[in-house]
Every structure is written in C-alpha cells, then in structure tokens.
Chains A and B, each alone.
Chain A
Amino acid sequence: MEQIARAAIAILFDGVAYGMLLFIMSVGLSITMGLMGFANLAHGAFAMAGGYVLVGLMVGIGVPFIPALVMAGVIVAVISIPFERYLYRPLYQADELDHVLLSIGLVFMATAAITFVYGPSTVSITVPDYLNGQIDLGIGLFPAYRTFTIAVGAVLILALWYGFEGTIIGAKIRAAVDNRRMAQSIGINVDRLFVIAFALGSGLAALGGGLAIEIIGMEPTFALTYLVFFLIVVAVGGLGSIRGAFVAALLLGLIDTAGKYLWPDGGAFFIYAVTVAILLIKPMGLFGKA
C-alpha cells in the first residue's frame, strides 16, 4: 500500500512539474493561434532563444539564475516584437500554408544560427545550490528544482488568469479572440493587441525555455523536437483558451510521466494515444469554440 502511495505521489509531483513547464512554453502559441489565426510553428524557437539567452547571461556575464531567467523572458519578448511587425503581420491574411512555410523556415534558421554561435552540443548551466537536491515540504522530500518549477508555473497562471479576466487589456484580447471584426468595429486597436499578445507569448516561452534546461535539456534542435508537444497542448486545450492550455498541459505532463513510470517499455506512446482519443471525441479541443 505504501509502495502505491509513494508511486502515486512521485507521478503526481513530476507530472505536475512537467505539465507546468509545457504550459509555460506553449500558452503563448495558444494565444497567438487563437487571436491571430497564425499557425506559428516557430513558437518553440522563442523558447529555445530564451534558453540560450539564459545560458549567455549566466555563463557569459555571470548573472545569477533567477534574475537571468526573468531577463531572458523580457529580452526575448522585446526581440519578438519586430518579428511580429515585419515578418508575421504581412502574412496574417495569407493562407495557412504560407504561415507554416514561413515559421518552419524560421525554426531551421534559428537552429542553424544557434549551432553557429553555441555549437551543436547540449548546453548546461549551474543552478544555485538551493535549487539542487531535495527540499522538505513538510509532507516529505521533493526535488527542489521541480518544486521551484511548479511554483513559477502557479504564479504565472494566477497572473495570466487575472490579466485576462480582470483587466481591460485582457477583456479586449478575449473580445478579439471571439470575434475580431466586431472587436475592431467597436474601436479596439487589434493590431496593438497582436503585438502585446505575441510579445507576451514569446516571453513566456523564453521563460519556459530557460526553466527547461535543467529538466529536458537544451540543444539547437529543441524548437523542432518539442514542437509536437506544443501543438498537442494547443490542439487538446483548444485554440485561444488559457484554461484549455493549462488543463491540456497538466494532463499531458501527468500522462507522460505516469506512462514512463508505470510502463517504461511503452515509451511516449500514451501521450499520443490520449491526444487521438480526446480529439476524436472533441475535435475542437477540451475548451475550444466551434
């Protein structure tokens, strides 16, 4: 019995940590796809950029981990603005194939650029001692870094929830997701919303990329490798729904962890099986709107 309880706690904890990480990295994609109708396959490249900016800040100029993490998010958010303005915006009216071609091209360019600067190998950072090893949460010992990841995820979710439900900008974004033309015709500056949403999403992805280094590693092919997971989160959660992305990311994190724990031979099978099952029942995702 104790064995089962310990297994359940381990799966729950690691699954939630992994889910939080997936959420932070993919929520931006859900917003941009829902808001702008743009299939931005290069979303992972912003996460990857965040990871490498973090490495540059920490290894290059010795910024401590947590400030570097925040700075990585801000820097990438700012960098993403000209991308939105000059590369993505001209193609909003184009069809989806053009979106896919542009953004997948950006992924390859990002991979090549990062390989050129940082080399092809996995990069690593040294996290502060208090994030290493285990931490006593009162109910037992838990890996410190994952506890930190869950905490960061929880704070971001609360902030996003408040931002979208409790502020005027959030209300405008929700209005634009629901009906862009109506939002425009009542005087909402949708172009500006796009920039804000895009930068926010990219910055969050970058933060997630920085957090991911210690958990799933970081290398120049990261953007392509984890693209599938970002797309699954968005598809299962439903376009443009923060709640959907959150539930989907947690679900996927838990299922993936449980699958590996309980049936290691099955590998990554579970995550895809569940995705197919959910999309067969709810083609628009759990919280998507038809």
Chain B
Amino acid sequence: MNIKKLLIGSVAIFALSLGGASAAKVKIGVVLPYTGGAAQFGEQIDRGMNLFIQQHRAAFGGHEIELIKRDSKRPGGDIAKNAVQELITRQKVDLLTGFVFSPNAMASAPLITQGKVPMVIMNAGTAWIPKLSPYIARVSFTMWHAGYPMGGYAMNKLGCKTAVIGFTNYPPGKDSRNAFTTGFEKAGGKVLEAIPMGGPRQVPDFTPFFQRVKNAKPDCFYIFVPAGNHAVAVVKTYANLGMKTAGIRLIGPGDITQDTKLQSMPKEAEGMITVHHYSADYKTPVNIAFVKAWKAAYGADTTPDFMGVAGYDGMAAIAHAITAQGGAVTAEGTMKALSGWSYDSPRGKITIDPETRDIIQDSNVHKVVSKGGRLMIEVIDTIPQVKDPCKAHAIGKCK
C-alpha cells in the first residue's frame, strides 16, 4: 500500500516518443495530497492520470512527458505553495496540475502568474479560482455546478420550502453555501440558517450540529463537506439521529455520495438526492469502458470517482495542449489551446469555456438506490451543459 509513497518526490518518466528529432520533453509538476487523510484523493487523481497516459500514448503527439510529483499534504495552502515555488524555480516545469483543495490552488495562483506557468486544476472547485490568474484552466467543476441547480431542484421537484445548510468552514464550503442559497432563494425557498461545521482537516463529530438541524425541522438539509471520510460521517450521523424518519431530506453536491464511499454508508443513504457531474454507475458506453479499464488496471474492488475522472480528463486536456503547441509549452499557448477544447469524457461532453477558462458540463441529479444489496447512483434528471452559474450571473467574487 505504500509503494506509491516511494514515488513521491521521485520522477516518473514516460518515454512516449519513437525518437523523432522534433519531439520535446515536457515537464509537468503534479501537486496532490499523497500523505495524510486526503491521500485517498491524491491516489484517485494519480490513477486517473496514469490510466489516460497508458491508454492514449499517441495523444501526446510523440512528445515525452515527465511527471514531477509533490505532496501537498493538507488543505492549508502553505505546503502546496512551497511545492509550486520549487517546481517552478528549480525544476523549471512547463505546466502544473493536480490541486485537490481550493486553498492550495489559491495560494499558488500568484506564483504561476509571475512564473508564467499554466495550471490545469483537477479538483479544487471554489468558483472564483480562475479569476486569480490568467493562466488557470479547470477540468473539474465549480461548487455552483451542483449547488445552484440543487437549489432550484429542491424547491421545484423535491417540494422543500425550507432548508438548513451545513458546510465545512473553508472557501469551497462558503462557495457551495452561496451557490445553494442563491438557487434556492431564486426559486422561492427559504434558508433557515447556514451552519459552519468545523474545518476540512479533521472529520468533526457532526452530532451537535445535526441535532440543531433536527430541532429546526427544515424540509431539506443541504450539506457540503469535502468528499471522503467527511461524507461517510455525515450519512452515519444522519442515520443515527433518526433524521430520515423525522422527514428531513439530506441533499447536497455529489461529494456526499462519492462512489468510493457509497458502500461504507448505512442504508439510510438510500433516497438521498445530490447534484453532480459524475458517478462510476453512469451507463454511457464511454463510461462503461472507462470503469472496465480502471478495474483492470487497479483491481476489481476499486472504483473511479469524480476525482479519478478529473485526473483522466485533465491529462487529456494536457495532452491536447502539448500537441497543439508542438511540445513548446507556454502559458499563453496552453490557455489558447484549451480555450473551447471539447472532449468526450466518461462523464459526458465537456468543454473549456473560452471566456472563463472553466468547464462546461452536464449537471446530473443523482438518486441513491439499493440494487442487490449495493448502494448505487441512478441519474433521474439532467441539466445539460451548465456554464459556471457564479460567473454567468457575476455573483460576489465571480464578478
């Protein structure tokens, strides 16, 4: 299990060329959490990236790529920023990617502007991050892809007139809170209160917060927590406090029904409604092939989730940018190459919006169902090709 650790800080070279004279070597700095509680996210993205590289060697146009991996450990931003500085100044990377936690991408943004190194974000979803540097493009999502449509859906389709929001108290949590509030209030719903529930590093004991919500009796309880162990704890607490029988619906972005965590959740998860852009249970041919390849590469008991697919798509974007520039990667050139770039991803069609450098993709309404003793995601509705609503409506820091 710790073989991956041996790779940290080491260098993985993929000789992709057949030795043409025009082939360039492109250095890619990868900043991901490889140790600590968030290592599971780093592993997902890492596997997604590697799967793409293995499957699509030709996509790199004969150019050689070198991945230089650095451990961002925690969400605080400090370690990631140091890593980015080292990658830019000492390793002289041509491109940066990874970035699970928003504060890590935010802290690194000024450095990539100064160093003119393009950044392809594979997770960090706080909506206004691309505003921080002209050299950021994002292949994952923004908090508004899920939170904003969830607000309208909760009111119009789920019949929730009141809601309480619980969120992990750091930038994407606040962003998700704003996204849901905006969508829900626009549809005529009333947010009773928004409760900050601790920080992203440690999974808190959610019980006191949930007790408060139980007594407030909202129709819907919207939750944003970073995916992973937070998500399992949320559903367990929801189940243990009998909130489902009390008639409170648990909703949120797909982080709380992450594919990799679904089987650790209690049966009360059944019926949960989330809005998200990916699940391993999607029945499209592209996704079925993707999941099959994933299981073949990493084991039948593994499953990709939205982070794995972002690693995969992110590497597709990087391959496109390298090929389009003929191996001579610059910040401006990369942004130009990615502007309007479209790809048939396992999650469906994705496009990089030329105006915002952010992703355009379907937002799907997920319902947790139980089939053959397994909890699964069923898509019950789709909002096609959503442009980040935060920037589309120029709200707050997205102006």
* Interface size, A (range): 35 or more
Expressed in whole angstroms, the minimum distance between the Cβ of A61 and any Cβ of chain B is: 19
CB under 8 Å from chain B, chain A span 99-123: 115-116, 119-122
Chain A residues with CB under 8 A of B241? 134, 143
- If A11-B208, A116-B2, A121-B37 touch, does A144 touch B240 (CB 8 Å cutoff)? yes
Contact A261 B209, beta carbon cutoff 8 Å: yes
- If A124-B264, A217-B233, A267-B198 touch, does A143 touch B207 (CB 8 Å cutoff)? yes
> What CA separation (Å) do A184 and B266 show in the bound complex?
55
Contact A261 B211, beta carbon cutoff 8 Å: yes
Chain B residues with CB under 8 A of A116? 2
With both beta carbons as reference points, the residue of chain B lying nearest to A21 in the complex is identified as B205
Chain B residues with CB under 8 A of A216? 203-205
Contact A122 B240, beta carbon cutoff 8 Å: no
With both beta carbons as reference points, the residue of chain A lying nearest to B195 in the complex is identified as A264
Contact B202 A225, beta carbon cutoff 8 Å: yes
* Contact segment of A2-10, A190-198, A242-250: A2-10
Expressed in whole angstroms, the minimum distance between the Cβ of A127 and any Cβ of chain B is: 10
Contact B215 A10, beta carbon cutoff 8 Å: yes
A18 interfacial by beta-carbon distance below 8 Å:
yes
> What CA separation (Å) do A120 and B215 show in the bound complex?
36
> What CA separation (Å) do A257 and B207 show in the bound complex?
9
Chain B residues with CB under 8 A of A133? 239-240, 242
> What CA separation (Å) do A14 and B210 show in the bound complex?
11
Chain A residues with CB under 8 A of B208? 10-11, 14, 256-258, 260-261, 264
Chain A residues with CB under 8 A of B39? 119-121
Contact A122 B197, beta carbon cutoff 8 Å: no
Contact with A along B250-285 (1 / 0, CB 8 A): 000000000000001010000000000000000000
Expressed in whole angstroms, the minimum distance between the Cβ of A143 and any Cβ of chain B is: 5
- If A133-B240, A217-B203, A260-B208 touch, does A122 touch B229 (CB 8 Å cutoff)? yes
Chain B residues with CB under 8 A of A261? 208-209, 211-212
Expressed in whole angstroms, the minimum distance between the Cβ of B206 and any Cβ of chain A is: 9
Expressed in whole angstroms, the minimum distance between the Cβ of A260 and any Cβ of chain B is: 4
Chain B residues with CB under 8 A of A10? 208, 211-212, 214-215
Chain B residues with CB under 8 A of A120? 35-37, 39
Residue in A121, A144, A265 whose Cβ sees the most chain B Cβ within 10 Å: A121
B18 interfacial by beta-carbon distance below 8 Å:
no
Chain A residues with CB under 8 A of B214? 10
B376 interfacial by beta-carbon distance below 8 Å:
no
B380 interfacial by beta-carbon distance below 8 Å:
no
Contact A141 B242, beta carbon cutoff 8 Å: yes
B113 interfacial by beta-carbon distance below 8 Å:
no
Expressed in whole angstroms, the minimum distance between the Cβ of B198 and any Cβ of chain A is: 7
A215 interfacial by beta-carbon distance below 8 Å:
yes
Contact with B along A131-151 (1 / 0, CB 8 A): 011100000010111100000
Chain A residues with CB under 8 A of B266? 132
> What CA separation (Å) do A27 and B117 show in the bound complex?
54
B300 interfacial by beta-carbon distance below 8 Å:
no
CB under 8 Å from chain B, chain A span 224-260: 225, 256-258, 260
> What CA separation (Å) do A7 and B215 show in the bound complex?
7
B6 interfacial by beta-carbon distance below 8 Å:
no
B232 interfacial by beta-carbon distance below 8 Å:
yes
> What CA separation (Å) do A132 and B264 show in the bound complex?
14
Contact A264 B239, beta carbon cutoff 8 Å: no
CB under 8 Å from chain A, chain B span 13-42: 35-37, 39-40
With both beta carbons as reference points, the residue of chain B lying nearest to A214 in the complex is identified as B236
Q: A121-B229, A260-B209 are in contact. List 14 more A-B contacts (CB 8 A).
A: A121-B40, A121-B228, A132-B240, A133-B239, A133-B242, A216-B203, A216-B204, A216-B205, A217-B233, A219-B37, A221-B36, A261-B208, A264-B209, A264-B212
